[in-house]
A and B are shown apart, each in its own frame.
Chain A
C-alpha cells in the first residue's frame, strides 16, 4: 500500500500547519424568521473526535452544512483546516474534508464500486482501485463491491456511505448520525474505525443522539440547542454540572446518620433515598471513602457497598436540554 492511500496523510499535512482543524466564531444562521444557529463559538483541535449533541432541530446538521460550505452563515465566520469560509474557498475546503450526511444518498442503480468510483473521480484521486478497495475493507464490505446499492439493506448502505467519505482521506471528517440504522456489531465497527482514524490524526466531528456513543467516542462534546449550551470533556461537564456523590449501602438504617456523617471530613450533604441507602455529596470520593468506611464500621454498621455514583453524559444532556435550561453556558 502506498502512502498516498493511507488514511491520515491529508490530516498530517494540515497538522503541520499547526492551526486548529475547525474554528467557529459567532456562527449564526437564520432561515427566514427561524433561527437555526445563534452565535455559536467553539474550536476543534486537530486529531480530536468532537461530538455535537442536541435534540432534533438544534442546528447540528446546519452546523455541518455550513462548515462543509453547502450553506452560508447569516452572521459569523469559521475556518476549516485553516481556510476561511467564503464563496471562493468552497471547492478548496471541500477537497480537504468529507461529509457523511444522515441519509446515505447512494446511486441505487449503480454498484457499490461504481458509487465509490464516481466520488473518486470527483475528488480527482490517484490510485483509485487501491483506495476503493481499502475504503471498502475498512467497513467490511469488500465482498459486496459488485452489488447494486439498491439491493443493500439500510445498514449496509450506511456503511457504503462511510466508505465513500473515507475515500478521499479527509483531514476533517463530518459524520451526521453515523451509526443510525446500524446493528450493534456494525455500530461497534464504526466506533473502532473512528478510533483508528483518530490515531491517524483525522479530526472527526460527529453528531449523534446516542449519548453513550458520544461518551465513548468523543474527546470533547458540545451540547447545542440553537445556542451552544456547553462544551468540554464529558468528565468535565459532569463535574461542572453535578456535585460528586458517594453511594453507601448498609444492611440496616443508621440510628443517627447526621451525627455519623458529620464526623467524616469532606461530607457536605447527605440524603437517604431508601432505607439503609445513603447518598453523600463529597468533594473527592477517593479521599472521603476510607474514613467514611472506618466511621461506619466503628459505629457498628454493616457496610454492603460504598462507591462513587457517576453521572452519565445522558444526565448532563437531560439536565441541559430536558429541563429546558436552554440558556445555560
Chain B
C-alpha cells in the first residue's frame, strides 16, 4: 500500500480535536506559555534606558528578546510530541490504532503535523504581537533593529525549523520511552540543543552573517526532512505493543 495522506489527515483531525479538549494543552501550552513569552521580550525591550540605545548592550538586549520568540517553537512541540506515542500507549489506544491499515510513516507524519499546526500558529502569533508592540510603542531606534532584515529572517526561518527539530526529537523519544514524564523531560532537554547555536548568533558570540544563518537553516531543514524517516525506522510496533525486546 502506498503512503496515504487520507490516513495522515485522519490522525491530524483526531489529534487536534483531542488537544482542544485537553485542559493541559489549552491552558499551559496555548495560554500560559505564550503569555509569558510575549511579556518577557516586551519587558526586556521596554526597560532599555535611553543611555543604552547607542551602546553595545543594545544588540544583546534585542538578541535576548528575540531569543524568547525561538524558545516557544522549541518548547511547545517537545512536550506535545513526547506524549504522542507513549501517551497513546499509556491510554491503551495505541494497539487499536496499529491494528488499522495505517503505516508507521503515516502515523508519524500525522502526529508531527498535528503538533506543528498549533505550535506555528502560537509561535508566529507571539512574534506578531511582539512586532506590533514594538512598532506601536518602542523607541524608533529599537524599531530599526527589531525590524531589520537579519532579525526578521532569523525569526521567520528558525521558528518552523526549530519546531521541526523538536517535534521529531520528541516523537523519537516517545517511541522508545516507557514513561510519559521521562519522555517529556528528555524531549524538552533535547529540543534546546539547536537553540544554543541560535542563541550564540543572537547574542553576537558567533558573528551572524547571512551565509552562516542560511547554512544553519539548511542544516536544520535537512535534519527535519530526514527526521520522519529516521523516526519511522525507530518505530517498532512489537516493542510498543508488548513492551519487550524481541
Residue positions of A touching B, CB distance < 8 A:
31-32, 65, 68, 70-72, 74, 91-92, 94-95, 97-101, 103-110, 114, 118-124, 161, 164
CA distance A98 to B94 in the complex (A): 15
Residue contact B95 to A105, C-beta cutoff 8 Å: yes
Q: What is the CA–CA distance of A12 and B99 in the complex, to the nearest angstrom?
A: 22
**Chain B neighbourhood of A105, CB < 8 A:** 91-97
Residues A91 and B95 in contact, CB atoms below 8 Å apart? no
Q: Inside 8 A of B18's CB, which chain A residues have their CB? A: 107, 109-110
Docked-complex contact A119 and B91, CB < 8 angstroms = no
Once the chains are docked, how many angstroms separate the CA of A74 from the CA of B244?
A: 14
Can you list the 9 inter-chain pairs with the closest CB atoms, starting with the nearest?
A121-B10, A122-B100, A95-B101, A105-B96, A109-B21, A99-B99, A118-B14, A91-B1, A71-B238
CB distance A99 to B13 under 8 Å?
A: no
- The prevalent SS among residues of B at the interface is helix
Of B13, B21, B22, which is within 8 A of A121 by CB? B13
Residue contacts A-B, CB under 8 angstroms, 16 given: A65-B242, A68-B99, A70-B237, A71-B237, A71-B241, A71-B242, A91-B102, A94-B99, A97-B99, A100-B96, A110-B18, A110-B21, A114-B17, A120-B10, A122-B10, A122-B102
Min CB distance B210 to A, Å, is 44
Contact: B241 with A110, CB < 8 Å? no
Inter-chain contacts of B91 with A (CB < 8 A): 105, 107-108
The answer to whether A122 and B7 have CB atoms under 8 Å apart is yes
Given A114-B17, A122-B7, A124-B4, is A94 in contact with B101 using a C-beta cutoff of 8 Å? yes
Which B residues from 96 to 128 make CB contacts under 8 A with A? 96-103
Asked if A70 meets B101 with Cβ closer than 8 Å, knowing A92-B1, A110-B17, A121-B7, the reply is no
CB contact list, B1-54 vs A, under 8 A: 1, 4, 6-7, 9-11, 13-14, 17-18, 21-22
In the complex the two chains form, what is the Cα distance from A100 to B103 in whole Å? 19
* Contacts A91-B1, A91-B103, A107-B14 given; does A72 touch B95 at CB 8 Å: no
- CB atoms of A103 and B92 under 8 A apart: yes
What are the residues of chain B within 8 A of A101 when measuring CB–CB? 92, 95-96, 99
